[in-house]
Structure 1
Amino acid sequence: MKREQKCVDDRRNQILDIINNNAEIKVNELAKMLNVSLITIRRDLQYLDDKKLLVRTHGGAVMAETEAIEEDELSLYRRLIAQFAATLVEDEDTLFINTSRNALQMLKYVKSSNVTAITNNGKVMNHDYEASLNVILTGGELRYPKYAMVGDYAIRSLQTVFAKKAFVGCSGITPDAGMMTEIANEVSINEIMVNHTTTEVYVLADHTKIGKRSGFTSCALDKIDYLITDEKAPEEVLNIIRNKGVKVYQVHKEEF
Structure 2
Amino acid sequence: MKNKKGVIVKRQQTILQRLQKEKEVSVDQLANELGVSPLTIRRDLIDFENQGFVKRHYGGAKLIEGTLFEDPTLEVPPATGQDGTTDYRRVVAKKAAELIEEGDIIFVNSSKTALLMLDYISGKRVSVITNNGNAITSSHDPLVSIILTGGELHGTKCSLVGDFALATIRKIRANKCFIGVSGITAEGEISTAVLQETMVNSLMIERAKDMVVILADHKRIGKLHNFIIADTHQITHIVTDELADEAVTSRLEKDNVTILKGHITD
Q: What TM-score results when the alignment is normalised by the length of structure 1?
A: 0.71
> What SS is found at the alignment partner of 2:249?
helix
- Measure, in 2, the Cα distance between the counterparts of 1:91 and 1:157: 23
Q: Which residue of 2 aligns with 1:203?
A: 214
> What SS is found at the alignment partner of 2:259?
strand
For residue 187 of structure 1, the aligned residue among 198, 215, 220 is 198
Worse-superposed segment, 168-177 or 95-104: 168-177
Shift of 1:112: 4.0
Q: CA 1:94 to 1:162, structure 2 compared with 1: closer, same or farther past 3 Å?
A: same
- Does residue 225 in structure 1 map to residue 252 in structure 2? no
Q: Which residue of 1 aligns with 2:126?
A: 115
Within-5 A mapping of 1:28-177: 52=78, 68-69=81-82, 72-73=85-86, 75=87, 77-176=88-187
Q: Which residue of 1 aligns with 2:223?
A: 212
- Measure, in 2, the Cα distance between the counterparts of 1:71 and 1:160: 45
Shift of 1:144: 1.6
- Measure, in 2, the Cα distance between the counterparts of 1:82 and 1:155: 25
Unaligned runs of 5+ in 1: 1-48, 54-66
- Contact 2:218 2:244 (C-alpha < 8 Å) held by counterparts: yes
- Measure, in 2, the Cα distance between the counterparts of 1:51 and 1:174: 25
> What SS is found at the alignment partner of 1:213?
coil
Percent of aligned pairs sharing the same letter: 34
- Measure, in 1, the Cα distance between the counterparts of 2:138 and 2:84: 19
> What SS is found at the alignment partner of 1:253?
coil
Task: Give 1 or 2: higher helix fraction.
Answer: 1
Shift of 1:177: 5.0
Unaligned runs of 5+ in 2: 1-74
Q: Which residue of 1 aligns with 2:63?
A: none
Q: CA 1:87 to 1:145, structure 2 compared with 1: closer, same or farther past 3 Å?
A: same
- Contact 1:164 1:197 (C-alpha < 8 Å) held by counterparts: yes
Report the RMSD for the aligned CA atoms in angstroms.
1.9
- Measure, in 2, the Cα distance between the counterparts of 1:51 and 1:205: 16
- Measure, in 2, the Cα distance between the counterparts of 1:97 and 1:127: 13
- Contact 2:95 2:260 (C-alpha < 8 Å) held by counterparts: no
In the alignment of these two chains, the number of paired residues is 192
- Measure, in 2, the Cα distance between the counterparts of 1:147 and 1:247: 30
Q: CA 1:224 to 1:112, structure 2 compared with 1: closer, same or farther past 3 Å?
A: farther
Q: Which residue of 1 aligns with 2:40?
A: none
